[in-house]
Structure 1
Amino acid sequence: MYTALTVSGGTRLEGAVTPQAIIANSLLQLSSEDLEEAINKAVSENPALEMPAPAVCPYCHSTLTHGVCLNCSTTGRNASIRRDDEGWWNEDSRWPARGGSFDDDEEFDPMTILAAETTLSEYLRTQVSALVSGPEREVAEFIIDSLDEKGLLATPVSEIATACDCSESVVERVLRKVQSLDPPGVAARSVQECLLIQLGQMSGDTADLDLATRIVRDHWDALTKLSLDSIARQAHASEKDIRQAIGFIGRNLNPFPANAD
């Protein structure tokens, strides 16, 4: 048995593991270079697609990777990490020192420290405590305890309702609260739902975000096959825009919330 979720637009999300989901997992784990190679291969195998000349950096003339010159600039959350007397920090996070000092030349990964300080289960419980109380707390804790090693929920809603002696509507309501927690996409019942949750939590009204949402929501099978011409035709978008949106998906979304970096 499995549970299906209907989202806006009538799309039905299946919780069963499918070959397409496995392909999507592999696709979204690709590095920027490997993703670019996969797209280039799809273009070369379909003469109807056209590959525009690559954009180059105006300073060093290196080929840009998704609009970024890897030779001239550094990007990402770890690029701007700094340290003070209280620990390590960047613009949106802080990792407190744990009673010891660090040498200036010590190699340090703050995310490793963060992971060592708390488990995903503990982290989720801390967040959800402000959102639920009474019987809902038991349901929320059951959901959290049922997550797999990837941070996804494979236990059907009906089984959770039976175990917690409540209605499925209560489970659905609590599940939505758990799915609103950090890391984005946690407790999703499929990779597709996981990505849609993350897209829904992103701010801004950009063309990439809008097209990426449409691709994941409405053209999932074609995405898992990297069928650019099929997506472009069905989405009424250019191949260039589709490639850009797929790059946006690969750079910004994580199919495995528990492995967030």
Structure 2
Amino acid sequence: MALSARLELRQGQGLVITPQLQQAIKLLQLSNLELDAFIDAELEKNPLLQRDERDAEPEAEAPAEAAADNAAADRMDDAGARAEMDAAHDEASPGEHATGDAERDLGGADAGGSVDWSRAGSGGSFEGDSDALEGALTRARTLNEHLHDQLSAAGLKGAEAAAASVLIDAVDEGGYLRADLTETAERLGCDLALLERVLAVLQGFEPVGVCARDVAECLKLQLIDRNRYDPAMAALLANLPLLAKRDMAALKRACEVDDEDLREMVAELRALTPRPGAAFGGEPVQAVAPDVFVREGLGGLWLVELNTDTLPRLLVDQRYHARVSAAARSDQEKTFVSDCAAQASWLVKSLDQRAKTILKVSSEIVRQQDGFLVYGVEHLRPLNLKTVADAIGMHESTVSRVTSGKYIATPRGVFEMKFFFTSAIQATQGGEAHSAESVRHKIRQLVDAEAGEAGVQSDDAIVDILKLAGVDIARRTVAKYREAMRIPSSVERRRRLKELA
């Protein structure tokens, strides 16, 4: 068969993701701090954008605004301004192709109108993305990120996982826990014993000594890890103020050791790390500004509203647009001005759509997790992204972007939206799913109720009991939950009960 070249015409369908839609998708996943920086950059690039500051001294700002318009119009007449527009025009970038449901979630395929964005200026480009990616890959990992990575592998579920996340967020750069457990338990609506169990797990994370509440506890954790914690060391840690004053005589009496032993003990303390988190990269401390406020209304209803302080308010300066349009001379200048106008209009619409989407997603989260708001962390319902997406008619990826880096202020504190998504354990016979935390609680109750060596329940026996209670769970899952709660195996429990008897 001979090979030959030929031309063919084919028709096909595909989705084109335009630069405007790229921008709208990017805006969804930005936190309020990142959005502020993005808006500042856009204000510098696009001369037709301005902040909406009509609520603050409108009369005083009017003369200044008129003067700025006149000066800007004059600048548009000189050759330097035309050269600047030419350079900006040359930086235009074409659209890209992609598939998915992002366009449906962000306003439809015709949201960008008839603007030819393949000729747009650099105002809406994503030039900083490569730099941001390079910075993310080269910067040092923070202690918070390191602890959260270990938490994901620790096997904690439900309320314990949620409480652990809250405690990790309260750890400072030195590695110390800066939260009072009693106050945190009251805020989360959980038992103090649950937080103490979670803290015991966190204090087993790397680096050794992390999540301690004071220097003595930090050093104690490191000594235990080295198998060097004994009554003499305990007495030394209890009298650290004497060591600071170098009162060796009092220390010898308190620890009941001689001079040589005391010198060795002090040398061991000096070999420890009083700030275990210092080896990790740090970030500037910034207060979290919630994106959404939740408060209780009349009749037990929960009211959800956006935090207007974190929402940028932008306007398209129509007067300035009219002036520079009249001053533009060449076709290139006119194209640049019209592109800036279209781009500014799209950005304003995208910010409005972003705010509406955040409110819609957060309202559904509050509706699903009202039990947490009323009763506390142990009443978090099993929830995933797909459940929320189906309920509000959006794509799962859109919900994921919205909940990333966004915070909700509730009567129980400020939480990241991701906090409210928990895993589920299926029920037998098609019943309602159980949260992982409730299943863990039942396992602990069964173990606590064991009486005598003959009453110890194996993992298989616990599985059978839970299935009778309507919980469909595998033996390996029971073993994983038991180990996460620091409960010994049935063999070890029988041995301990036998020794006590």
Please give the TM-score of this superposition, normalised by the length of structure 1.
Answer: 0.50
Larger relative contact order, structure 1 or 2 (CA cutoff 8 Å, min sep 6): 1
Whose helix fraction is larger, Structure 1's or Structure 2's?
A: 2
Q: TM-score by structure 2 length?
A: 0.27
- Larger radius of gyration, structure 1 or 2? 2
